[in-house]
Structure 1
Amino acid sequence: MGNTRGDAAAFTSLLRDVEERLFDVLPDDTWVYPGHGADTTLGAERPHLTEWRERGW
């Protein structure tokens, strides 16, 4: 997820795109390489989707 500088509509759009294009179509064992932090898998990050949505970033 990228920085949307507090723009709630931009964050919602970005999260929706990430869910539709990555989480909804790729398996949990898909590796992702974020721009910061350690490499991870979609399966490791999937449980955080609700948290991201609730906090808005």
Structure 2
Amino acid sequence: MGNTHQDPEAFARLLADVETKLFAPLPDETWVYPGHGGDTTLGAERPQLPLWRERGW
């Protein structure tokens, strides 16, 4: 998602934006092209949301 420089509030805001602006309105088949790493789909990444939230980055 991006570096929030260990700022938990910034991370929470970023994660909320990603969830509400990308994951909520778009289907799993939507391709995303991150700034690093390989291309993927929202469906492939959706299971990671709870893990990202739990670890805080």
TM tier, smaller = over 0.9
AA partner of residue 27 (structure 1): P
In the TM superposition, what whole-angstrom CA distance separates every residue of 1:16-55 from its partner, at most 9, and x where no partner exists? 0000000000000000000110000000000000000000
TM-score between the two structures when normalised by the length of structure 1: 0.99
Corresponding residue of 1:40: 40
Corresponding residue of 1:2: 2
Corresponding residue of 1:52: 52
Provide the identity percentage: 72
State how far apart, in whole Å, the 2-side matches of 1:55 and 1:33 are: 23
Matched residues, number? 57
Corresponding residue of 2:25: 25
Partner of 1:2: helix, strand, or coil? coil
